[in-house]
Every structure is written in structure tokens, then in C-alpha cells.
Amino acid sequence: MMKRQLKKNILCIGAGYVGAPTMAMIAEKCPDYKVTVVDINPVKIDAWNSDRLPIYEPGLEEIIRRNRGRNLFFSKDIEDAIRRNDIIFVSVNTPTKTFGTGAGMAADLQFVEKTARQILKCAESSKIVIEKSTLPVKTAQAMERILASGKDNVTFEVLSNPEFMAEGTAISDLENPDRVLIGSRETPGGLAARRELVRIYNRWVPPERIITSNLWSSELSKLVANAFLAQRVSSINSISALCEKTDADISEVAKAVGMDSRIGAKFLKAGVGFGGSCFKKDILNLVYLCRYYGLPEVADYWENVVRINTYQQDRFLATILSAMFNTLAGKRICLLGFAFKADTGDTRESPAISIAGKLLAEQAEVVISDPKALGNAAVDLADFAGRVRYVEDPYLAAKGCHALVIMTDWDLYRRLDYRKLYRSMVRPAFLFDGRNVADHAKCFALGFNVYPIGKPALSHFQPPSAVRG
Ligand code: UDX
Ligand code: UDX
């Protein structure tokens, strides 16, 4: 086999949900670039090099298989990789701080800072360092200051290039992004670094979708995009509460509102609340920044997006409790879905974690079913080991249960044989549809007492309008 000429070396530090798929796409689209991904967690690197990838994402396995060992490499030697690469993406995690000032709100930047110091320590030549992680506005300044404290002959340009892809659709989002945003300094060095990064994306992203800005706008835009998306979910969820009181139907309202081209139809699906590693963390981070800069009114405005999300989950639990005669003790309840959304095995901040915890606190027996997330669910609910059963097959999971609770919008749950499920359950059987995916009228006709989100409940005990007093 002829040895390929690889023109450029690109490194990504952090082989997580963001770093690994993004680098796989760059390797696919730039076959003449050598792309290396490193991580402090050696187990993760072994998994990326194996047949069992550490995350589930549609299309990811195929793209990794095609490029791994060709121009995409997963390595444990971070220091050597830093020395060999002049373009370095930083995609380490930035969780919410759990200690000290800003605990519960601010981003914990210790991993980003440690990574900057490691780059500084190992670098023998000048480098472009690209923030891929979502970071508070002005983090690039801290990165620059750390990186500028080293040898004079080695210089660094810091760019911001936030990733907007969503899990479950990561590969198609990366292949066909709405936009790629690159923030840089407006200095000759900053502009040259920006051109270098534009050249990479130019391989497959149309030029009009590659936008540039100053560093701070780029950092802030990522937080604001997530805040706006989450705000739409909280807005529709808040209205779902009103629908349940008034016999309006949230799907009809969302359709009517979303058809206004100024508003748009996306992100108007009412449900049991948003989850995922980003929305809550990024909004709390935005709230913290607003307070830090003396803008309490702005902070309060955004904090309510998170409050409504918690309220929606509490409301869902209250509906389950009151419909099931205010006692769940000893009743067996099946959660259909544990992932925070369909087409992923990721359970970070999934509403299912809090709902499962609350059902267990009510002394219910909990059975969890999910096609991809049972491993993560068992880790999330490790404190309840022995009190939760994990059953992948939804029909086996539902057997002998008093209620089904749909937590994730897996397509599978639209197509279930609800007659078969009903027949295997304890009567009266309940269906709480936290994602409005089942055919409610049909399930009611089968015998279920059906409780959707933002729609009239269908109960065999009470006339529809009296159900939610
Ligand atoms: C992360 C951030 O959470 C998010 O804010 C940002 O937008 C992108 O990066 P994600 O990829 O989902 O998102 O996180 P995760 O799957 O946890 O991956 C981060 C990886 O970085 C982990 O594999 C972790 O082991 C690694 N890491 C962490 C390092 O390699 N070095 C460190 O110092 C810290
Ligand atoms: C989000 C952003 O969409 C993405 O741009 C960013 O890079 C990372 O954060 P992600 O969290 O992976 O992506 O998934 P997303 O599709 O945004 O869904 C987030 C949550 O909102 C899920 O729990 C989903 O079920 C919920 N959601 C979404 C709704 O409840 N209703 C909707 O209409 C849309």
C-alpha cells in the first residue's frame, strides 16, 4: 500500500461526545490531514480503538471505522501529541462548579486551565489553540495569559470555535452545519490563525455558512444559542400546564404558533423537560455571568428557564401520584426510556433520573427500559441498586406493571403494540406519556387511563374535563 502524504497535524484534547465525533468528521473531510484525539481517561481511548465505542450516536460507528488508522488516531500520549501538533482543539468538559464561589452556577474551568498549562509545558513550537468546549465569555483571555507566560520563541493564538451539533443527530449536524462560528483576535496573528481554521471547514462547509467574529462574541454566542433553545422548550412547557387546566391541546397550540414564520416550528415540543449536558449548565453559567457583571434582572430572566424545567418535572410526578390514588408504595412502574432524548445512550441531566428517584422515594418498584441507555441508567441510579430492574425489551419490562411512564421520545415507543402491553399489566393500567408519542385515543380505547402532557387526560374514572381539577 502506498504511504499517504499527510499535510497537516490536528490534535483534539478530550475524546468525549463533542471532541471525538467532530474530529472523525474532520478526518473524513480532510483525508490529507492527520487527526489525533487524546484523553486523560485511558479506558475511553481503548474504547475508541475497539469495536465497542464508548458512546452511541447514529452513523458514528461507520465514520470511525472508515477513518480510524487511516488519518484518525486515538492516543493516550497527550504530551507527545502536543509536541507533534500545531493545531490543537480543546474539548474537555466544563461542568458546573460544585464548590466554592459560584458553586451550582459557574462553570468549573479547572480542566480547561490544566489543559492550557499542559500545552504550555510541552510545546516546542508555536501553536493555534482552539476552544471547542463551551466556555464563559472571556475564558480565551485567561487561556492567552497562561499560554503567554512561557518561552518567548513559542507563541500561541487562541481561537473560539464552539460546536453546535446536537446528540442523536451529531453526524448529520457536523456534515451539514447551519453555521460554523470562528472567533479570533483581530491582530495579524489572530487573523492568520482564523484563516488556517477556515481552510479546514472550507473542505465541506459552504463559505457563507462559515462566520467569523471577535473572540468574545463567539464564546457568548454558544451560551446564548443554548439559552434560546432551552427557553423555547420552557416556554412551550409552561403553556402545557395551562392547556391541562383549560382543555386546550398543546400540540394544536404549538402548531398554530409555530406556523408563524417569525416564530418557527422547531423546539416547540412539550414534554417532561429538557435534559442533556448543555442546557442547564450553560444557562446557569449565563446567569452567573450576568450576576457577576451586575445585571441581576437579566440573570433572573434566564434563571426562570431552568425553574420552569424543574417545575415541569415536578408537575409530571404530581400527575402520576394523584392519578394513581395518591399512593405508589409497592406499585410497579415501568419507565419507557431513560436517555435525555431519542437516538442517544446519554443520560446526563435526563429528566428520567429525577423522576425515577422520586418514584423510588414514594416506594414504588421501578423497572427501566431503554434501547441504548441502560448502562448509564444503572450508573445514575447506583444508590438504588437492588431496587431497580433494567430490562431492555419493553414488553418484558411492562409485564406486571401498574403504569407505563414514557420518558424518552424513541421512535420505538410510537410503534409499540399497546394492546399487548395492556394485556400484561395490572388493572387499572395507567399510561403517562411524558413525550406525547403514543396514540392516546387508541390507548384509552384499549383500557389505559392516559395522561399526556398539555392535553386533556383520558380517564375511565372521571369525565375528561374533571381529571385535573
Ligand atoms: C464537553 C463539555 O462538557 C461541553 O461544555 C463542551 O461544549 C464540549 O466538551 P462533552 O464532549 O459532551 O462536552 O464532554 P465529555 O463527553 O465529558 O468529554 C470530555 C472529555 O474530556 C472526557 O472524555 C474527559 O476524560 C476528557 N478530559 C477531561 C481530558 O482529556 N482532560 C482533562 O483535563 C479533562
Ligand atoms: C443542545 C443544542 O441543541 C446543541 O446545539 C448544543 O451544541 C448542545 O446542546 P443536545 O442537548 O444534544 O443539544 O440536544 P437537543 O436536541 O437540543 O435537546 C435538548 C433537550 O431538549 C432534550 O432533552 C430534548 O428532549 C428537549 N427538547 C428539545 C424538548 O423537550 N422539546 C423540543 O421541542 C426540543
pLDDT digits (tens, 9 = 90+) for 209-239: 999 999 999 999 999 999 999 999 999 999 9
Burial class for 139, CB neighbours closer than 10 Å (0-12, 13-18, 19+): buried
- Shared domain check, 288 and 186: no
- Shared domain check, 268 and 131: no
Q: What is the pLDDT, as a whole number, of residue 6?
A: 76
Q: What is the pLDDT, as a whole number, of residue 265?
A: 97
Report how far ligand 1's centroid is from the alpha carbon of 15 (Å): 7
Q: Is 160 helix (H, G, I), strand (E, B) or coil?
A: strand
Ligand 1 atom nearest 118 alpha carbon: 33
Q: What is the pLDDT, as a whole number, of residue 374?
A: 98
Q: Sign of torsion, CA 391 395 401 402?
A: positive
**What's the domain count of the chain?**
2
pLDDT exceeds 50 at position 1:
no
Q: Which residue has the higher pLDDT, 3 or 35?
A: 35
Indicate whether 244 belongs to any domain.
yes
Ligand 1 atom nearest 282 alpha carbon: 5
Q: What is the pLDDT, as a whole number, of residue 137?
A: 87
Which of 30, 243, 278, 334 is labelled catalytic? Answer: 278
Indicate whether 412 belongs to any domain.
yes
Angle between the N-to-C axes of helices 60-67 and 19-29, in degrees from 0 to 180, rounded to the nearest 10: 50
- Shared domain check, 190 and 220: no
Q: What percent of the chain has pLDDT over 90?
A: 90
- Shared domain check, 380 and 265: yes
> Ligand 1 pocket by C-beta < 6 Å: which residues?
13-19, 39-41, 44, 91-94, 111, 114-115, 132-134, 163, 277
**CATH number of the domain bearing residue 12:** 3.40.50.720
Indicate whether 1 belongs to any domain.
no
Indicate whether 378 belongs to any domain.
yes
Instruction: Label residue 126 by pLDDT band (50, 70, 90).
Output: very high
* Boundary-marking domain end, from 205, 237, 266: 205
- Shared domain check, 315 and 278: yes
Q: Atom 34, ligand 2: which residue's CA is nearest?
A: 267
Q: Atom 23, ligand 1: which residue's CA is nearest?
A: 16
Q: What is the pLDDT, as a whole number, of residue 107?
A: 86
Q: Sign of torsion, CA 275 279 283 284?
A: positive
- Shared domain check, 273 and 200: no
Indicate whether 210 belongs to any domain.
no
Question: pLDDT tens digit string along 197-206?
Answer: 999 999 999 9
Q: What is the pLDDT, as a whole number, of residue 3?
A: 55
The pLDDT of 189-196, averaged and rounded, is 97
- Shared domain check, 12 and 120: yes
Parallel, antiparallel, or unpaired for β 156-160 and 127-131? parallel
Q: What is the pLDDT, as a whole number, of residue 5?
A: 67
Which ligand is closest to the CA of 251, given by its number?
A: 2
Residue in 84, 230, 236, 215 with CA at minimum distance from that of residue 162: 215
Cβ atoms 83, 119 nearer than 8 A: no
* Boundary-marking domain end, from 205, 231, 257: 205
Q: What is the pLDDT, as a whole number, of residue 27?
A: 98
For the beta carbon of residue 90, count every other beta carbon within 10 angstroms.
Answer: 24
Indicate whether 344 belongs to any domain.
yes
Q: What is the pLDDT, as a whole number, of residue 272?
A: 98
The number of angstroms, rounded, from the C-alpha of 42 to the middle of its chain's C-alpha atoms is 23
- Shared domain check, 243 and 262: yes
Indicate whether 47 belongs to any domain.
yes
Question: pLDDT tens digit string along 242-270?
Answer: 999 999 999 999 999 999 999 999 999 99
Q: What is the pLDDT, as a whole number, of residue 467?
A: 47
- Shared domain check, 121 and 46: yes
* Boundary-marking domain end, from 168, 184, 205: 205
Place of cell 417569525: 262
Instruction: Label residue 462 by pLDDT band (50, 70, 90).
Output: confident
Q: What is the mean pLDDT of the chain?
A: 95
Instruction: Label residue 465 by pLDDT band (50, 70, 90).
Output: low
Indicate whether 407 belongs to any domain.
yes
- Shared domain check, 130 and 271: no
The pLDDT of 100-109, averaged and rounded, is 89
- Shared domain check, 102 and 131: yes
Cβ atoms 182, 158 nearer than 8 A: no
Burial class for 142, CB neighbours closer than 10 Å (0-12, 13-18, 19+): middle
- Shared domain check, 346 and 438: yes
Q: How far apart are CA 405 and CA 332, in angstroms?
A: 11
The pLDDT of 440-451, averaged and rounded, is 98
* Residue 278 known to be catalytic: yes
Q: What percent of the chain has pLDDT over 70?
A: 97
Q: How far is CA 91 from CA 15, 71, 109, 163, in A?
A: 7, 19, 12, 10
Place of cell 410510537: 414
Tell me which residue range forms the domain holding 257: 216-469
Which ligand is closest to the CA of 162, given by its number?
A: 1
Q: Atom 20, ligand 2: which residue's CA is nearest?
A: 274
